[in-house]
């Protein structure tokens, strides 16, 4: 199972060659994203056509919600990062909490996720 991060979805929509190639390789696997990624992308989408495209995209893949255990995991990640002196976006910490809780691979180009211990990441 692969979790598609916002950066990947944006690059895929924009036709980035590496993202498109990665997406083609992932077609035989279960693809998911998180409710946090949905929020990030829809809040930034002011264009009606792009928003409709995103809504259809999210209807075609499973969206994993931020639940109680994911929240606990995210808080652990926040403490780990703080004790190491690392600061990253809180939305990324929430996404990482979900990904780590469900033990799935995160597909992203965002290098901030590399700062998080015990997180499965696949860059493209």
pLDDT digits (tens, 9 = 90+) for 14-66: 999 999 999 999 999 999 999 999 999 999 888 888 899 999 999 999 999 99
Which residues have CB under 8 Å from 38's CB, separation 6+?
A: 58, 63
Dihedral-angle region of residue 15 (phi above 0 means left; psi in -120 to 50 means alpha; beta otherwise): left
pLDDT value at residue 44 = 84
Average pLDDT over residues 61-74: 97
Any idea where the domains of the chain sit in the sequence?
2-123
Average pLDDT, the chain: 95
Q: Tell me the whole-structure pTM to 2 decimals.
A: 0.91
In this structure, which CATH number among 3.40.50.1010, 1.20.140.10, 3.30.2290.10, 3.40.50.10440 belongs to the domain 2-123? Answer: 3.40.50.1010
């Amino acid at each position: 199972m692969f979790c598609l991060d916002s950066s990947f979805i944006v690059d895929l929509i924009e036709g980035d060659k590496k993202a498109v190639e990665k997406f083609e390789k992932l077609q035989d696997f279960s693809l998911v994203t998180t409710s946090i990624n949905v929020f990030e992308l829809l809040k930034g989408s002011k264009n009606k056509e792009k928003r409709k495209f995103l809504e259809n995209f999210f209807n075609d893949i499973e969206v994993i919600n931020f639940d109680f255990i994911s929240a606990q995991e995210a808080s652990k990640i926040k403490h780990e990062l703080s004790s190491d002196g690392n600061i990253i976006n809180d939305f990324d910490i929430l996404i990482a909490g979900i990904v780590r809780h469900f033990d799935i691979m995160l597909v992203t180009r965002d290098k901030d996720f590399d700062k998080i211990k015990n997180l499965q990441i696949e860059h493209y």
